[in-house]
């Protein structure tokens, strides 16, 4: 089985071409391959399948084997994967996901995809929820951008003990369901800074849906303008509100290719 390791701002996934043949037990395979000591090492596995209504389908598995509905960094890499391998010559694609179809615009430079803009759709921002855990109290803003998030504004995300707080906030009963957790600051109206605990994967260098959720929550509270640069540990995404939808632009990069026995 051949695979491709790709990353968007350090949010890395193992990509499998499943257009003609699909491996058995993808959940267990994702656990094995994602292990950074005994496997390839990644935040999860993404299978590229034939489109249901769009051009292709993205089927995502987290590092713990659980299914993910949507991944903003992952879907940008899907766009680069299918274009750079000649599976399509289109630069505007529709990718089916567990959260519904998402439209991509591929920015091609020198015959290869350099960056991708994704129409992430509309974000649903809920009412703030007061949460107590580990002796601390947090105001969590529920946001859904195709998958569930909990946004927490703070002065400096870099000072948050994310490894301690992330696991308990992810499953906190007051939030109703397992959520990705974002700690966010807004230094000015054109910039946001965040760190993310991803459900099923833990601390990641970047999270596209998490950045969109943080942006949506910041807009709701009038902490930022309609276009921001979102800084994550792995790099920067450009986010823009157009009408009801959020558009995300960022890089996608192939790390290496290999073959599994």
> Catalytic residue numbers?
71, 207
- Ramachandran angles phi, psi of 73, nearest 5°: -70, -40
3 state SS of 74: helix
d(CA 188, CA 197): 23
Q: How many CB atoms lie within 10 A of CB 141?
A: 23
Q: How many CB atoms lie within 10 A of CB 219?
A: 18
d(CA 18, CA 50): 8
Determine the length of the chain.
Answer: 261
Q: How many CB atoms lie within 10 A of CB 58?
A: 28
Nearest of 43, 76, 41 to residue 58 by alpha carbon: 76
Whether 249 and 211 have beta carbons less than 8 Å apart is answered as no
Nearest of 98, 44, 52, 106 to residue 79 by alpha carbon: 106
Note the maximum CA span of the chain: 54
d(CA 22, CA 103): 24
3 state SS of 211: helix
């Amino acid at each position: 089985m051949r695979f491709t390791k790709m990353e968007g701002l350090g949010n890395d996934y193992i990509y499998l071409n499943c257009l003609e043949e699909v491996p058995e037990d993808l959940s267990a395979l994702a656990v094995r391959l994602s292990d950074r000591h005994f496997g390839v090492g990644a935040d999860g596995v993404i299978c590229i399948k034939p489109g249901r209504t769009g051009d292709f389908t993205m089927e995502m598995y987290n590092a713990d084997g659980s299914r993910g509905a949507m991944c903003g960094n992952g879907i940008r890499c899907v766009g680069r994967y299918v274009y750079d391998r000649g599976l399509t010559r289109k630069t505007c694609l529709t990718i089916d996901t567990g959260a519904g179809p998402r439209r991509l615009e591929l920015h091609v430079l020198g015959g290869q995809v350099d960056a991708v803009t994704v129409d992430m759709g509309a974000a649903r921002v809920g009412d703030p929820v007061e949460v107590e855990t580990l002796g601390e109290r947090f105001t969590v803003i529920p946001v859904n951008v195709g998958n569930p998030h909990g946004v927490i504004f703070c002065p400096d995300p870099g000072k948050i003990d994310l490894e301690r707080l992330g696991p308990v906030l992810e499953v906190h009963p007051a939030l109703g369901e397992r959520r990705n957790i974002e700690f966010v600051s807004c230094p000015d109206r054109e910039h946001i800074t965040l760190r993310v605990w991803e459900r099923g994967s833990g601390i990641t260098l970047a999270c596209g849906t998490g950045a969109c959720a943080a942006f949506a929550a910041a807009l709701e509270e009038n902490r930022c303008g309609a276009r921001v640069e979102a800084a994550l540990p792995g790099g920067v995404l450009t986010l823009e509100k157009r009408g009801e939808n959020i558009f995300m632009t960022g890089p996608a990069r192939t790390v290496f290719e290999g073959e599994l026995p």
